[in-house]
């Protein structure tokens, strides 16, 4: 290990301890929606990012899936789907499919074969 590693590793470890001490619970959820264009995707992403606890929201227009990373101690999957529905879109939580390859629900065939918009 080089000298930089001896400095960076304790900092990272300390941050991890600090986040867990404050109840930070990072989660990710994939939500199947009926978005059909880039404008819809931006609307959903912007709306979700305003929600307390949401760290990132990324939409895929082709698969109609919104991937949301959030703090589970501040919001929930149910609140995320309600927010999307309030914006005028459908929202259905996709089942997490953690396999031995480490892929999650957003990497499954289900999202790749999702119906496409016109």
pLDDT of residue 14: 66
Rg (CA), the chain: 17
To the nearest whole number, what is the mean pLDDT of the chain? 78
**Of 35, 34, 26, nearest in space to 72 by CA:** 26
What is the tens place of the pLDDT at every residue in 53-103?
999 999 999 999 999 999 998 999 999 999 999 999 999 999 755 433 344
Cα separation of 8 and 40, whole Å? 40
Cα separation of 58 and 33, whole Å? 12
**Of 56, 49, 53, nearest in space to 74 by CA:** 53
Task: Specify the residue for token string 């919001």.
Answer: 75
pTM: 0.65
């Amino acid at each position: 290990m080089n000298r930089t590693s001896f400095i960076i590793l304790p900092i990272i470890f300390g941050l991890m301890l600090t986040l867990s001490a404050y109840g930070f619970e990072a989660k990710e959820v994939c939500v199947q929606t009926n978005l059909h264009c880039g404008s819809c995707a931006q609307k959903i992403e912007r709306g979700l990012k305003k929600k307390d606890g949401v760290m990132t929201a990324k939409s895929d227009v082709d698969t109609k899936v919104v991937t949301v990373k959030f703090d589970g101690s501040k919001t929930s999957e149910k609140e995320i789907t309600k927010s999307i529905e309030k914006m005028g879109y459908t929202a259905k939580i996709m089942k997490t499919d953690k396999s031995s390859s480490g892929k999650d629900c957003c990497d499954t065939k289900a999202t790749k074969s999702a119906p496409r918009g016109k």
